[in-house]
């Protein structure tokens, strides 16, 4: 049995990087910031460096506080609604920014990003395919 899925966009991954890293744009009103983030299917939420939220003009501590725990410790984040854009696919989403400015990891997680898309990955050729989830092609 075989299956066919069509995708709206194709990205080419840097195979020299650890993990799957893709370019992201965040917008709040007229403010925008771009950076690379890791696709992390094990992460429950999207979490970004504090500096990115500050560059968007957000007062980080005015967001919804949330504590996350990992096997290496716990940390505080604050939730805000932003527009996320990857390969010109855009949607509004609730994301989190680290409370501390020493965290240097940007993660695209399941809620707020992956649950809004359909994706395909061919790792050995560095191909990453994506479409809006509501695109039923």
DSSP 126: T
Q: Is the pLDDT of residue 72 over 90?
A: no
Going by pLDDT thresholds of 50, 70 and 90, the confidence category of residue 61 is: very high
pLDDT tens column, 78-88: 999 999 999 99
Instruction: Please compute Rg for the chain using Cα positions.
Output: 15
CA angle 108, 57, 36 (to 5 degrees): 30
Q: Please compute the mean of the pLDDT values over residues 30-45 and round it to a whole number.
A: 96
Residue 41 dihedral angles phi and psi, to the nearest 5°: -70, -15
Residue 57 near residue 35, CB atoms below 8 Å? no
The CATH number for 9-132, chosen from 3.40.50.620, 2.40.70.10, 3.40.1050.10, 1.25.40.10, is 2.40.70.10
Going by pLDDT thresholds of 50, 70 and 90, the confidence category of residue 136 is: low
Q: Strand, coil or helix: what is 57?
A: coil
First to last CA, the chain: 19
């Amino acid at each position: 049995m075989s299956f066919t899925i069509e995708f709206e966009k194709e990205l080419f991954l840097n195979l020299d990087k650890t993990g799957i890293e893709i370019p992201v744009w965040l917008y709040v009103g007229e403010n925008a910031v771009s950076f690379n983030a890791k696709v992390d299917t094990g992460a429950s939420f999207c979490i970004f460096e504090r500096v990115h939220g500050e560059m968007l003009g957000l007062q980080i501590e005015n967001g919804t506080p949330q504590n996350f725990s990992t096997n290496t410790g716990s940390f505080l984040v604050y939730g805000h609604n932003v527009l996320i854009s990857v390969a010109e696919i855009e949607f509004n989403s609730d994301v989190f920014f680290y409370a501390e400015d020493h965290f240097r990891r940007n993660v695209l997680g399941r809620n707020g990003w992956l649950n809004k898309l359909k994706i395909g990955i061919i790792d050995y050729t560095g191909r990453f395919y994506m479409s809006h989830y509501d695109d039923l092609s």
